[in-house]
């Protein structure tokens, strides 16, 4: 199960990074992100740049966890980061439910819920291996 979760996270984060790049380049309208509450191009650039950098970091963690990137990251740090990711995605799922954008509710609510579940699976698997 953890193998599926790790590879699933890599795939989802790669897609999310591409999505944020498309929003930043105005290929996708910014009205469907940020809960539909972004009011200006400047606000969009700030939010999307932060989201892009955070998701690149999450992709990096997923690549390490899936074994595609061979770096020596202490197990405790990787486990802690996965638990933090779980919390972020769980809160993000709740936030998506209150979005003004129906598209964001329909598409991103299940994605963040899946990412929360994958993060928990990987964190628990790492915790059981170190215990």
The model's pLDDT over 97-120, given as tens digits with 9 standing for 90+, comes to 988 888 888 999 999 999 999 999
Instruction: With a cut of 70, say whether residue 74 has pLDDT above it.
Output: yes
Q: What is the DSSP letter of 31?
A: G
Q: With beta carbons less than 8 A apart as the criterion, state whether 104 and 23 touch.
A: no
Secondary structure (3-state) at 101: coil
Confidence of residue 38 (pLDDT cuts 50, 70, 90): confident
pTM equals: 0.88
Range list of H helices, 2-131:
2-24, 41-66, 75-97, 102-130
Tokens at residue 73, please? 């990251």
Instruction: With a cut of 90, say whether residue 35 has pLDDT above it.
Output: no
Instruction: With a cut of 80, say whether residue 127 has pLDDT above it.
Output: no
């Amino acid at each position: 199960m953890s193998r599926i979760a790790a590879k699933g996270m890599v795939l989802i984060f790669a897609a999310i990074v591409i999505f944020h790049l498309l929003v930043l380049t105005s290929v996708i309208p910014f009205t469907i992100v940020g809960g539909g509450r972004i009011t200006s191009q400047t606000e969009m650039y700030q939010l999307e740049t932060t989201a892009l950098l955070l998701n690149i970091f999450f992709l990096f963690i997923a690549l390490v966890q899936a074994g595609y990137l061979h770096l020596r990251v202490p197990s405790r740090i990787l486990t802690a980061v996965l638990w933090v990711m779980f919390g972020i995605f769980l809160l993000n799922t709740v936030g998506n439910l209150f979005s003004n954008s129906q598209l964001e509710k329909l598409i991103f609510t299940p994605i963040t819920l899946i990412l929360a579940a994958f993060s928990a699976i990987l964190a628990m698997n790492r915790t059981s291996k170190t215990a």
